Amino acid sequence: MGFDEMDVDTIWMDGEFVDWDEAQVHVLTHGLHYGSGVFEGARCYETDKGPALFRWEEHLERLFQSAKPYEMDIGFTKEELTEATKELIRRQGLPSCYVRPIAYYGYNSLGVSPKDCPTRTAIAVWPWGAYLGEEALENGIDVMISSWRKHASSQIPTNAKTTGLYVNSMLAGEEARRNGYAEALVLNKEGNVAEGPGENVFLVRDDEIYTPALSESILDGITRDSVIEIAEELGYTVHDDVSISRGELNTADELFFTGSAAEVTPIRKVDNVVVGDGSRGPVTEEIQQQFFEIVEEAPDEYAEWFEFVDIE
């Protein structure tokens, strides 16, 4: 969905609410030239108890942690960003939406060093459904192992969600789509499975669940963490500190992606090799259904996962 199709008209920038069309930056903004920004992607769900930001505290914590390696002072407290986000959702009257906070080095000088550049902060919200399509949630998607490798944490911090690093994701994803696939799967420099361009990946074998360790150059996904907890609550054994070889993808019973955007999306083919029976597997389906029940009902036992927004 393009922005021109959406009923949103306000963005929060540096402490002020501004018109969507006026939310602009200078062409010599440091972040535009060097990718020196950090961001988050979160969701506000329309739960049975009202609109609620899902795992918002963890998203904010990761935003601030991502800023640390770049010596970036965001300049607002987590409480201020939370109130700004809630007010933005209220002003837009959105019972559910995608939420994009971003902090970046702004306009001052164009040396590689950002030391003289101010830190700018913005938050936008907009309606967004299933990232890979509603059909994908039920029937799964076909993915391609990308020729582009994930950068190593010895090169650039992989656990910081940095704007510039998503060039890697864009290249992988567009390569896959040019070749007729819905999404890519990216290997790390050792040739083991890392993640998708914007998703973590899980493998199911003999009713046990495996997902690459943080040391495999992956982002520490918040939905990944949620799914690990959900799966363990359902009685599954989850191995979250493993290496997964490329070959193991071909013999997996099930594969699925997780992410704030992708939620829980089954993978039915990898490079035209059918995964399992080529449809959403039973373990994936159970976890997916439990995940959506939680975000729809906001049950008391998961109360710490929700930050409610009063839009009345």
Q: Which helix (H) or strand (E) holds 295?
A: helix 282-297
- At 3, give phi and psi (nearest 5°): -60, -30
Q: Which two tokens stand for residue 21?
A: 């069309």
**Residue ranges in 145-272 assigned as alpha helix (H):** 166-178, 222-233, 246-250
Contact (Cβ atoms closer than 8 angstroms) between residue 278 and residue 268: yes
For the chain, the residue count is 312
Residue 128's nearest CA partner among 37, 263, 294 is 263
Q: Which helix (H) or strand (E) holds 10?
A: strand 10-13
**HSE (CB half, 13 Å, CA atoms) of 130?**
15
Residues annotated as part of the active site: 161
* 52 burial via Cβ count (<10 Å: 0-12, 13-18, 19+): buried
Instruction: Return the sign of the alpha-carbon dihedral for residues 20, 21, 24, 27.
Output: positive
Residue 163's nearest CA partner among 117, 84, 106 is 106
Report how far residue 231's alpha carbon sits from residue 208's, in angstroms, rounded to the nearest whole number. 10
